Amino acid sequence: MSPEQASGIKDTVRAFILGSIAIAKLDDDDDLFGSGIVNSLFAVQLMTFIEKAFGIEVGMDDLDMENFKSLNATAAFVLRKNGHSAA
């Protein structure tokens, strides 16, 4: 994954989360679920946003918290869905 691609995805998702939830900051490796930043209801909103923002379909097989637990994990997931290596 190129740093530019990953950074753009993380910035887009970070802006969505910060615009939706009252938190001061969000680091790339913050655990969104473990820290309570994202609950189950907001997770659905996040998946819908990711599908629309990046033109991908989040399928049942993709609904693994590991794919979305942090901004870094989400960026890697989006790049994989778009056919880019996450290496």
10 has pLDDT over 70: yes
- Proportion of the chain above pLDDT 70, given as a percent: 94
35 has pLDDT over 50: yes
- Proportion of the chain above pLDDT 90, given as a percent: 68
- Catalogue all structural domains in the chain, each as residue range(s) with its CATH number: 3-81 (1.10.1200.10)
Asked if 46 and 38 touch (Cβ cutoff 8 Å), the reply is: yes
Can you give the pTM of this predicted structure? 0.86
40 vs 2, 6, 11, 52, 74, CA distance in Å? 30, 25, 22, 19, 16
Residue 62's pLDDT is 93
Q: What is the pLDDT of residues 12-30, one digit of tens each?
A: 999 999 999 888 889 999 9
